[in-house]
Amino acid sequence: MMRSTNRNTNLVIFCFFTFLFPAVCLGADTDQTNEIAQLKAKINEQDSLIRQLVERVVHLENTVPASSAPAAPSALNRVSLESEELGALPAGIVQKEPEKLPLKISGYIDMGYIDQSGKGTVSTSALHINSRADTLASVGLDGDSSYLVNEVNLNIKAGLSPKAEAVSNVSFLPRKLTFTATGGTALTDAVGVNLAYLAYRPFEEGNFWTDTLLGDLNVSIGKFDSPWGIEYRYNFSPDRVNISRSMMSIYWTGYPVGVKVRGKLLKEMLQRFQNSEFTYNFAVVNGEPWIASLVDMDRATSKRRTLVGRLSYGLDIFDGFFESGFSFANGARINQGDEGTNQYSLGADVRFERGPWTTRAEIDYSDLDAARNGSSQAIRFQHWYVESFYEISKPGLLPSWVPVVSLTPYYRYDRRYLTTLFSAVFPAVSVTNVGRNTLGLRYILRSGTMLKLEYELVSEKGTKVNDDIFLASFVQEF
């Protein structure tokens, strides 16, 4: 009887509190009920909106003629032939607005200083003073010291279509040149067009047959990089660790005019073996790629053309990457009107990179015929160089405010043999044998800002001569 009385009492108390405080006793069930009601209301609202959209689409389909096609884009709005073809597609295909193709503008300023210890006893056309391969002769220095704005360089690259782009590079030289192709003197500041070409990739990557037979074929038409050797890759000052080019660069790192094809054969297959690659690079040009300060590279003076090419193979080995290449050239001698004047050249190069350490070497031999009309003598020349450098990154112990990214010490030895033979106009034999030790240091303060120092110790025919050169260069990219 007592237990029944207690049970009834508890039931009365629970009902009393439920009546006074329903949110406390039944709050959980009430919250769930409210949430379910809100979700049902949202679903009904979405169903109503969907019905309205369906009715709108049906109305548009009934009012627009089925035969109407989108208008072709106007000539002013066409980006490429591909966008023009889109205008002829049948109705019902969703049109996508053509993407804007990129336009990239970049460049750098190179400010230099030159101090020559001697009086030019060595041929001044053999000693370079900046990354452009300007020589002491081309800027009119002979035993002098001078500040020099090496160049203001502007690079413009424009995408024409997903497969084509236009590339140009111009150097502004705020000085008068005293040595030109015609032996005259420039009366105003010089402007040098280094690159001006159209690059086209006819095939998409990923096709087995085109990748195997042609590689990632790239066709260039215009004025482009030299196909010879590897030094042309570092023509521009920000890309070069030291300041001056090698003595062989006079003949092989210019920018010839013509047609070039480049690609990697058996790309997918060779990558499976030590990430290796086989590259071809062939060009038919006006003449061998001499630097512009010596000859006029932009026009031909005979009906014959010159074939220049390089084959190379590279692979991952010894925890680094090794590449070797073979170059050749044959054809009309540059800047000679005699159709019988010919030149053939052979060259080899090697490169090994392992982490911060890089070593490169090249050698070449050329044989230039004498002109039958007596306008030039026969020349035999041979060059070789070996260079090495090691990039030291900023130590972690230095505080973040110290302006240093890396320091790179550099060394190169190069030698130039040149023999001038008999001809009707030059009845003499002369031999040039110049050697050079080059010590350098590159200091990168921050990305795009660097200071480079270089000292060249020059010898001729194995004898040290008083022709050492000190060079400094400050480069700022933009």
- Answer whether 378's CB lies under 8 Å from 368's CB: yes
Give just the sign of the alpha carbon dihedral 288, 290, 294, 299: positive
Nearest to 299 by CA among 340, 259, 263, 257: 257
Residue 112 pLDDT > 90: yes
3 state SS of 96: coil
Q: Which of 255, 290, 234 is nearest to 440 (CA)?
A: 234
Q: Give the pLDDT of residue 84.
A: 31
pLDDT at 462: 61
Question: For residue range 144-175, what is the model confidence (pLDDT) as tens digits?
Answer: 788 999 999 999 999 999 899 999 999 998 87
- pLDDT per residue as tens digits for the range 239-267: 999 999 998 888 889 899 999 999 988 87
Residue 97: band (very low, low, confident or very high) from pLDDT cuts 50, 70, 90 = very low
Residue 2 has pLDDT above 80, yes or no: no
| Contact in structure between 334 and 288 (CB atoms under 8 Å) | yes
Q: In whole numbers, what is the pLDDT of the chain averaged over residues?
A: 77
pLDDT at 369: 74
Please state which of the ranges 26-35, 37-46, 323-332 shows the lowest mean pLDDT: 26-35
More confident residue, 293 or 44: 44
Handedness of CA 112, 116, 117, 123 (dihedral sign): positive
- Enumerate the H helices of 64-156 as residue ranges: 81-86
CB atoms within 10 A of CB 64: 10
In the prediction, which pLDDT does 31 show?
58
User: Is pLDDT of 49 > 80?
Assistant: no
- How much of the chain exceeds pLDDT 70, in percent? 68
Which residues, including other chains, have CB under 8 Å from residue 426's CB and lie 6 or more apart? 377, 420
Higher pLDDT pick, 327 / 433: 327
pLDDT at position 427 is 53
- For residue 179, CA distances in Å to 34, 75, 288, 365 come to 91, 47, 20, 26
CA–CA gap between residue 219 and residue 221 (Å, rounded)? 7
Mean pLDDT of 55-76: 50
Q: Cβ–Cβ contacts within 10 Å for residue 324, how many?
A: 15
Band of residue 464 on the pLDDT scale cut at 50, 70, 90? low
Residue 388 pLDDT grade (very low, low, confident, very high; cuts 50, 70, 90): very high
CB 118 within 8 A of CB 467: yes
Q: DSSP for 244-255?
A: SPPTTHHHHSS-
Q: How confident is the model at residue 345 (pLDDT cuts 50, 70, 90)?
A: very high
pLDDT top residue among 322 and 124: 322
**Other C-beta atoms lying within 10 Å of the C-beta of residue 189:** 12
Query: Does pLDDT of 93 surpass 70?
Result: no
- In this prediction, residue 396 carries a pLDDT of 84
pLDDT at residue 294, as a whole number:
53
Residue 334 pLDDT: 67
* Range picked from 183-187, 361-365, 414-418 for highest mean pLDDT: 361-365
pLDDT of 71 higher than 50: no
Model confidence pLDDT, tens digit, residues 274-313:
999 999 999 999 877 776 655 556 777 677 889 999 999 9
Kindly report the CATH number that applies to the domain delimited by 107-477.
2.40.160.10
